[in-house]
Amino acid sequence: MSYPFITELEAIIRQRKSEAPENSYVAKMFERGLDKIAQKVGEEAVETVIAAKNDDDYEFIYESADLFFHLLMLCEARGIPFEKVIQALEQRNKKP
């Protein structure tokens, strides 16, 4: 299954990181640095866990999307294409 939107979103993140538009949340996060981006991933992970324990599917989906978005930013900050994460998942799933 392919999700071209993920590739597009990575490109948008990369563009906003390099061009740093004035009102861009992504650009501001990159200005704050790797530690702040990583911290935000942790915050979003906690919010996702809390949402999972509640009985609100919309909240869980919304928080999961936030977590995923911030993980993409963290990958970009580390210079690691998200494709590498997908490849690691594929490797783990290979049958002997």
pTM of the shown model: 0.91
State pLDDT tens for residues 2-61: 689 999 999 999 999 999 999 999 999 999 999 999 999 999 999 999 999 998 999 999
Which single residue is written with the structure tokens 């990958």?
75
Class of domain 4-81: mainly alpha
In sequence order, the 6+-apart residues with CB closer than 8 A to the CB of 16 are 24, 26, 27, 30
